[in-house]
Amino acid sequence: MSKTLTAEFTLDALRDRLSQRLNYIHGEQIGDFTQNPDLRKWVMSRAVKEAAILMPLVEREGEMSLLLTKRADKLSSHSGQIAFPGGKIDADDAGPEAAALREAHEEVGLATDQVEILGRLPDYYTGSGYKIAPIIGIMNADAVVEANPDEVDYIFEVPLSFLMNPDNHIRGSRIFEGRERHFFEMPFEEHHIWGITAGMIRVLYDRLYK
């Protein structure tokens, strides 16, 4: 039986895994080219825009869930896609963690004092020219969140047990800028989780549960 399927997804169990297995190494590179090795040079050669996202984990009825958003259809970048709260790192941000918290507050109204930062995954390089710092945080269960309609259509949560089950990681592909690109898809109810977001969730699985 899969180790993931027998794992506990309580807050205490997650804290234990994070403390034992989450080992951030500065300069480690991962990203869209993980599923597309032939695109590594192309991805890394593109102009890199630094960004940060928050992976907000929250305990619901004794089990952990992960908060996600559907980006507003009117946005110019990745419109209508499922994403984590996040965005570009501004010059006056103290670092990726500060940027992720600021963006989460702007997009979903999550107060910074309602999140405990526990670590980060390796920087994730995208074919669209971003270097994203995925920041992992525990959100208070009673934290108030509300979608900013200028950026987010809606907010939803997915059980961590679903996302950390590799049976739910479907490999897909499509042509992008004349090249076939492979990626993960994790369809949940009516939500199409794929691409960069699914890629970072897969990295979380690889680090904590594989």
Q: How sure is the predictor about 180, in pLDDT bands with cuts at 50, 70 and 90?
A: confident
Which of 17 and 27 is assigned the larger pLDDT?
A: 17
Token pair of 202, please? 């897969």
Q: Residue 62 half-sphere exposure, CB side, CA atoms within 13 Å?
A: 1
C-alpha triplet 177, 178, 183: angle, nearest 5°: 70
Token pair of 13, please? 């169990």
Which DSSP state fits 151? T
Report pLDDT digits (tens) over 120-156: 999 999 888 899 999 999 999 999 999 999 999 999 9
CA distance 113 to 71: 24
The CATH number for 3-208, chosen from 3.40.50.2300, 3.40.50.300, 3.90.79.10, 3.40.50.1220, is 3.90.79.10
The sign of the torsion formed by the CA atoms of 66, 166, 171, 20 equals: positive
CA distance 148 to 194: 22
User: What pLDDT shows up at residue 77?
Assistant: 63
User: What pLDDT shows up at residue 4?
Assistant: 54
Report pLDDT digits (tens) over 23-77: 777 778 888 878 877 778 877 877 689 999 999 999 999 999 999 999 887 765 6
User: What pLDDT shows up at residue 169?
Assistant: 97
Residue 182 clears pLDDT 70, i.e. is over it: yes
User: What pLDDT shows up at residue 20?
Assistant: 92
Q: Name the burial class of residue 197, with classes exposed (0-12), middle (13-18) and buried (19+) by CB atoms within 10 angstroms of its CB.
A: buried
CA distance 191 to 202: 17
Residue 1 clears pLDDT 50, i.e. is over it: no
Report pLDDT digits (tens) over 85-105: 999 999 999 999 999 999 999
Residue 2 clears pLDDT 60, i.e. is over it: no
Coil/strand/helix, residue 150: coil
CA distances from 102 to 23, 51, 76 (A): 24, 12, 20
Residue 179 clears pLDDT 80, i.e. is over it: no
Q: What residue spans define the domains of the chain? A: 3-208
